[in-house]
Amino acid sequence: MSTGTAESESGPRVDVTREAAEQARSLLESEGMDPEIAGLRLFVQQGGCAGLSYGMRFDTEPEEDDTVTEHHGLRVFVDPASINYIGGSTLDYEGGLQAAGFHVENPNVVSECGCGESFRT
């Protein structure tokens, strides 16, 4: 599982596999967004049966205090509160007939709900 280089090496960060970066970049471009400026925002929010859940959306540019990394041509933005929960994680993409989609491999998780949609650190 190879990850790209980061724009900022200070503090915890999230890595992204080549497959996940290619899938996200393709979706970003299909939305008509410039991948040189825009990126994927990965965040944690309250919710789910285990207490926290992951969220993703495209953002036109990072916020001033975001952790910004670049992986295989994809910029990734993570806010300061979320990086505390997902620092050290890897975003991957799993293809297949039943469970295709993005998946966060998070070493900080101590338990997940049965459906895998939420977690607790």
Question: In sequence order, what are the residues at sequence separation of 6 or more whose Cβ sits closer than 8 angstroms to the Cβ of residue 118?
Answer: 47, 48, 49, 50, 51, 52, 53, 112
Provide the pLDDT for residue 27.
Answer: 93
**CATH code matching the domain that covers 15-120, chosen among 3.40.50.720, 3.40.50.920, 2.60.300.12, 2.40.128.120:** 2.60.300.12
The reported pTM is 0.81
pLDDT digits 0-9 by tens, 37-53: 899 999 988 876 667 78
